[in-house]
Amino acid sequence: MQGTSHVRHWSEDNGECWLKTDRVKRLKELEKETERLRKAVSDLTLEKLILREAASGVRAVSETVRGTVYGPNGRRH
């Protein structure tokens, strides 16, 4: 370990291990990036659900209007 700084790190998979400080810094950067990407995916998923719900509401209104104006046989009242 001479000349290089190491930091003790706990890994769920491997237990305790030693990492070079530059590796620890990179690991922290990757963890931040992962969290940012998870949030982006979550936001997009929520947006997709909202749009899907809005679209189904538009279809329901459209079908209601079509049913009132044209009736079940497709002819205008």
Greatest Cα pair distance, the chain, in angstroms, is 90
pTM above 0.95, yes or no: no
Residue pair 22/5 in contact by the 8 Å Cβ criterion: no
Q: What is the pLDDT of residues 15-64, one digit of tens each?
A: 666 678 888 888 899 999 999 999 999 999 999 888 888 888 776 656 65
End-to-end C-alpha distance for the chain, whole angstroms:
88
Residue 35 CA to residue 24 CA, distance in Å, equals 17
Q: How many Å separate Cα 49 from the centre of its chain?
A: 12
